Structure formats: structure tokens, C-alpha cells
């Protein structure tokens, strides 16, 4: 704590702590405690090196570290901008990692399976606990989705929006963040696959079945409808892989 005065004197200090880490930790704390507000600009590198008594290289490495953790955004020629991490950014980070990590069929299935697991449970939750305005929102999303049949990119969008309602219902901000990660992961690898309206029709029918089951307050059917819908979607994703063994 408070290295701002002790960090100078350049070649000493011995222990295994990197100076850049100390600076990064200091700045991270300042961000998380509100000393640096969201959207605010970080001090210039040349200021920071004076303030903490370290070289610019150390400051830069600290900034790289913060940027990697999503606490700041860097643009060339601009001072870094503070971005208080929310669930979306956090989940997004792990999403990127997992996305890179999931390259083979097995890995993709593992990830997709978590989505099925997640959404079947969400469907069950909705059937049990959805309030009237939740249902209205879901119905609106369903209608919008139906009207988009035939328009691939628009359909995908409204498709995601329908599922997004499911993630939003429990009122826990972590779920929408997870959904966003799924969507980005999927669109990144299968962006707007061209296909006939028949596929859209099938997917819409899936959404409709899910909605009906939820409306009927039937958890088992809601779960099953969601599972069928996603397994069908998986067959689509799976078909994009060459080695189908």
C-alpha cells in the first residue's frame, strides 16, 4: 500500500513483485473504489511515471495489464478510458478465452451442451415463475421473430432476442451476460448462415412451442420444447464440421 513514495530509486526493492504489477494494482483499486469514475480518462503515462516514481515502461505494462482485464480501454493518441467491469465484460473475457480454446468438435459440443443445460433450466424457471409482463415480453419477441422469417440476418437477430428474454426473466444480470457471450461466440463462427425459410420456419416453431408450454405453466414441456429446439440447432452447427465421426 502507498508505494507512490517508496517506489522510486530505481534499481532496488528486491522482492519478486513487479513494479508494473504494483502500479496496476494501485490503479485497479482506484478504479474499483471509485477514485476514478467510469468514462473518466486515466492520467497520461508521463504523469503516472512521475506520480509513482517508475519508468514509463513499467507504467505501460501496467496499462496493458489493466486493458487486458477490461478495466480500461486504450486508443492510440488518447488517454485510456476507465471501464468499470460489469458482468458482461467479465463473461465476455472468458468467452473469448473459451472461444479460442474450443476448436474441435468435442469442445464445441461441450460449450453448446452448457447452453442447452442453461436454457432448458431457464425454460423450466419461466414456466414456473414468469410474471404476466414477462409473458407479454416473450410473446412480443415471438411475434417479432415470426415476422422476420425469410430474412436470415433479421431472423437471427430476433431469434437471439427471444432467447434473451428468457435470460432476462430471473432478474439476475449475470444471465444476460452469459447469453451475450453465447451469441457472440455463435455468430462469430457461423455468422448469418445462408439458408432457406424452411429452417427459419422450423426454428420459429420451436420458439412457439416453448412459449406455449411456458404460458401453460408446464415446466416439463417447456424444458422438453427448449431441448428439442436447441438439439435441432446443434444439428445445424454440427453439420458445419468436416469430420463427422
If the CB atoms of residues 79 and 227 are measured against DNA, the closer one turns out to be 79
**DSSP 3-state of 82:** strand
| 3-state SS assignment for residue 72 | strand
Contacts for 173-176 with beta carbons within 8 Å, 24 or more apart?
173/86, 173/87, 174/87, 174/91, 175/122, 176/87, 176/88
Residue 136 CB neighbours (<10 A): 11
Q: Which does 42 bind (CB under 5 to 8 A by kind): its own copies, DNA, none?
A: DNA
Instruction: Tell me whether residue 49 or residue 177 sits nearer to DNA (CB atom).
Output: 49
Q: Which is nearer to its own copies, 172 or 240 (CB)?
A: 172
Residue 82, beta-bridge partner list: 72
Confirm or reject binding of residue 45 to DNA (CB under 7 A). yes
Interface ranges with its own copies (CB under 8 A) = 16, 20, 28, 32, 57, 60-61, 64-65, 68-70, 76, 85-87, 89-91, 93-94, 97-98, 100-101, 103, 110-111, 113-114, 117, 120-121, 124-125, 170, 172-175
- Asked if 24 is part of the footprint of DNA (rule: CB under 7 A), the reply reads no
What is the footprint of DNA within residues 111-150 (CB under 7 A)?
Answer: none
Q: Does 49 bind DNA (CB under 7 A)?
A: yes
Query: How many Cβ atoms from other residues are within 10 Å of residue 203's Cβ?
Result: 21
Using the rule CB under 7 A, is 60 a contact of DNA?
yes
- Considering only 24, 31, 42, 138, the residue that binds DNA (CB under 7 A) is 42
What single string gives the DSSP state of each residue in 183-225?
HHHHHHHSTT----HHHHHHHHHHHHHHHHHHHTT-HHHHHHH
- The dihedral through the CA atoms of 34, 93, 126, 129 has a sign that is negative
When the beta carbons of 153 and 188 are compared against its own copies, the nearer one is: 188
CB of 42 to DNA, least distance (A): 6
- Binding DNA by CB under 7 A: which of 28, 63, 177, 181? 63
* 155, 131 Cβ separation under 8 angstroms: no
- 16/34 with CB nearer DNA: 16
Distances, alpha carbon 173 to alpha carbons 82, 90, 153, 177, 185, in Å? 21, 12, 26, 7, 19
Instruction: By CB under 7 A, name the one of 29, 74, 110, 240 that touches DNA.
Output: 74
Q: Write phi, then psi, for 14 (nearest 5 degrees).
A: 55, -80
41 phi/psi in degrees, rounded to 5? -95, 140
97 binds, among DNA, its own copies, none (CB under 5 to 8 A by kind): its own copies
Supply the minimum distance, in Å, between the C-beta of residue 212 and DNA: 52
- Binding residues for DNA (CB under 7 A): 7-8, 10-20, 42, 44-47, 49, 53-58, 60-61, 63, 74-80
Amino acid at each position: 500500500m502507498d508505494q507512490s513514495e517508496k517506489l522510486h530509486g530505481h534499481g532496488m526493492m528486491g522482492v519478486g513483485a513487479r513494479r508494473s504489477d504494483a502500479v496496476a494494482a494501485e490503479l485497479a483499486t482506484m478504479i474499483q473504489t471509485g477514485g476514478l469514475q467510469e468514462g473518466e480518462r486515466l492520467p497520461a503515462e508521463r504523469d503516472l511515471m512521475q506520480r509513482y516514481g517508475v519508468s514509463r515502461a513499467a507504467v505501460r505494462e501496467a496499462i496493458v495489464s489493466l486493458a487486458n482485464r477490461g478495466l480500461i480501454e486504450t486508443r492510440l493518441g488518447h488517454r485510456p478510458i476507465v471501464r468499470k467491469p460489469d458482468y458482461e465484460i467479465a463473461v465476455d473475457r472468458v468467452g473469448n478465452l473459451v472461444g479460442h480454446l474450443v476448436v474441435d468438435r468435442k469442445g464445441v459440443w461441450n460449450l453448446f451442451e452448457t447452453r442447452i443445460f442453461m436454457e432448458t433450466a431457464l425454460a423450466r424457471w419461466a414456466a414456473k415463475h414468469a410474471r404476466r409482463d414477462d409473458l407479454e415480453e416473450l410473446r412480443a419477441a415471438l411475434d417479432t421473430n415470426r415476422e422476420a422469417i425469410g430474412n436470415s440476418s433479421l431472423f437471427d437477430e430476433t431469434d437471439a432476442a427471444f432467447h434473451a428474454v428468457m435470460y432476462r426473466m430471473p432478474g439476475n444480470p449475470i444471465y444476460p451476460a452469459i447469453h451475450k457471450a453465447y451469441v457472440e461466440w455463435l455468430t462469430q463462427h457461423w455468422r448469418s448462415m445462408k439458408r432457406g425459410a424452411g429452417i427459419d420456419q422450423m426454428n420459429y416453431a420451436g420458439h412457439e412451442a416453448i412459449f406455449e408450454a411456458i404460458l401453460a405453466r408446464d415446466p416439463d414441456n417447456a424444458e422438453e420444447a427448449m431441448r428439442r429446439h436447441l438439439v435441432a440447432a446443434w444439428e445445424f452447427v454440427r453439420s458445419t464440421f468436416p469430420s463427422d465421426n
